[in-house]
Structure formats: structure tokens, C-alpha cells
Amino acid sequence: MPYPIQWILSLIFVIQMYLAMALLAIVFTPLAILKREYAYLACWTYCHWVRLSARFLVGLKSEIRGDVPTDEVLIGAKHQSFFDIILIVSAVPRPKFIMKKQLVWTPIVGYYAKRIGCVAVDRGKRGQAIKKMIADVKSGASLPGQLIIFPQGTRVAAGAHLPYKIGTGVLYEQTGQPLVPAATNVGVFWPRHGIYRKPGLAVVEFLPRIEAGREMKEVMAELETTVESASDRLMSEAGFEVSVKTS
């Protein structure tokens, strides 16, 4: 499809995506205040709507691969754009995120994030952030679910390289929970910034879990190798030319 037409369709998609968020908030918020299950249902409904509308408006199909975790685990996920969040939340039954503190004050998103048990941290204060993260996770143990953390700490464009931070390893060690790596290629089609969305097949793949009780340094090395190699494979499948990493 010609670029101008695809860009216009992308703009329509983005506009309706936020309108749908507002509409679902009007419908679900009174129910979510009364019962937390409706907050999960609202998030699930919204994510499936975004996946469906992306397919029909901009030709962006999506797929979940691997064994979807449904028990108490950490998910260490590659983060390339908002769409990988959409895919993960649409797949797991009780998602909650380690997220930057500023998002708590975002309309709609902030309320639902708190309602489903997301943990807000100040990324500018690394040591304090890790301590608060551990304390908040432990105090939220009464909210069972899948705790999603982005080991690189931010969105990383397709093909870009950013080191993995220690926070994921600390959580793994302190919580005693298994760690499920998750790879993606969504950044090939849905970039970190901008309106344009490309047609294709966006994938999030859950990889074999790393069981609890292992040495943190070893786990972090395995997590990075596993997620990066799988993400490179998915991006190559999508036609993206992956550069060779050099040490």
C-alpha cells in the first residue's frame, strides 16, 4: 500500500485506539472500583481491541508463541514499543508491571495500573528504586499474578542494543520466583515514536522458564542471551536486517 495511505490509516488507528481507551474506562471504571476482576477484564478487552483494530486498519497481525505463564512468575520481556505491552497483557491472566513512577499520574492508565497491582519506581534513583521495588513487590504478594519487568529499563528500537540492568536479577533472587524470558519483534512494525504502523506479523514469544534458586549473575547472562537471540530471530523472520553484535 502507498505510504501516504498507510500513514493516514495509521493515524486513524491511533486516534480510535485512544478513543476506545476512554470509552472502556467510562464503562468499566465504576465496576473496577467495586471489584478488581473488572479492572483485569477492562485491560484484557482493551488489548484485544487494539490487536483486532491493528489487524483490520493497518494490516498488523499479532501472535503469541510459547507457553503462556499463568502461575506466580517474573516475566523478563524485551520492550520495543507499546504494542509488546498490549500483546503480553492480552495473553497472561494477571499482569502487573514494574513501571516508571510518572505513569501513575497518567489519566486512565495510572488508575488501572494501580488497580491491578503495578509497581511504580523512580528510575532516576537506581539504588532507592531497587529497594522500593523489592519492598513494593513483597507487600503486594497478596495480589497473585505475573510480574512483568523490562530488563533494559526502557523501550529499545528494533536493532538497537542496550545493556540489561540488575533490577531483574535482584527481583529474581529476592522473590524466589521463576523467571520467564519473553522476546519480540514488534518494533519492526510499531516504533517507539511516531504515527506510522507497518503491516506484517508482530510476535511476542514466551521462552523456556529459568527456575528459581540459581545464581543471579548466571541467570542475568542467560536471560540476555536468550531474549536477544530470540528477538533477533523474530525480527529476521519479519524481514528486518539484524546487525551483528560486537563485544
Tell me the per-residue pLDDT of 40-60, one tens digit each, with 9 for 90 and over.
Answer: 999 999 999 999 999 999 999
35, part of any domain: no
d(CA 239, CA 13): 23
172 is a domain residue: yes
Per-residue model confidence as pLDDT tens digits over 104-140: 788 888 899 889 988 877 766 656 666 766 776 666 5
- Does residue 247 surpass a pLDDT of 80? no
Inter-residue contact 106 to 71 (CB < 8 Å): no
pLDDT at position 125 is 62
What's CA 207's distance to the chain center, in Å?
A: 15
* Model pLDDT, residue 12: 98
pLDDT, tens only, 140-171:
555 678 999 999 988 999 989 899 998 899 98
Residues of the chain with pLDDT > 90, as a percent, come to 73
Q: Which domain holds residue 179?
A: 60-237
pLDDT value of residue 104: 77
Is 54 within the bounds of a domain?
no
> What's phi and psi for 63, nearest 5 deg?
-150, 140
Q: Which helix (H) or strand (E) holds 184?
A: strand 179-184
Residue 122's nearest CA partner among 153, 95, 162, 164 is 153
What pLDDT is attached to residue 128?
Answer: 65
Q: Give dist(CA 67, CA 69) in Å, integer.
A: 6
pLDDT in tens, 61-80: 999 999 999 999 999 999 99
- pTM summary value: 0.91
CA torsion angle for 227, 230, 232, 234 (degrees, to 10)? -130
- Give the least confident one: 24-38, 61-75, 119-133, 228-242: 119-133
In a domain, 200, yes or no: yes
What is the distance between the alpha carbons of residues 13 and 183, in angstroms, rounded to a whole number?
A: 25
Number of domains present in the structure of the chain = 1
Answer yes or no: are the C-beta atoms of 85 and 179 closer than 8 Å: no
Domain presence at residue 155: yes
37 confidence band (pLDDT: 50, 70, 90): very high
Residues paired with 184 in a beta bridge: 204
Give domain status of residue 44, yes or no: no
In this predicted structure, what is the pLDDT of residue 244?
66
| Local structure of residue 52 (DSSP, 8 states) | H
Which residues fall within 8 angstroms of residue 198, CB to CB, at 6 or more apart? 6, 58, 60, 188, 189, 190
Strand ranges across the sheet with 119-121: 60-65, 200-206, 179-184, 73-77, 146-149, 95-100, 119-121
CA dist 240 and 236 (Å) reads: 5
How far are the Cα atoms of 11, 46, 51, 79, 184 from residue 87, in angstroms, in the given order? Answer: 20, 11, 8, 11, 10
Give a yes or no: residue 244 inside a domain: no
Does 75 reside within a domain?
yes
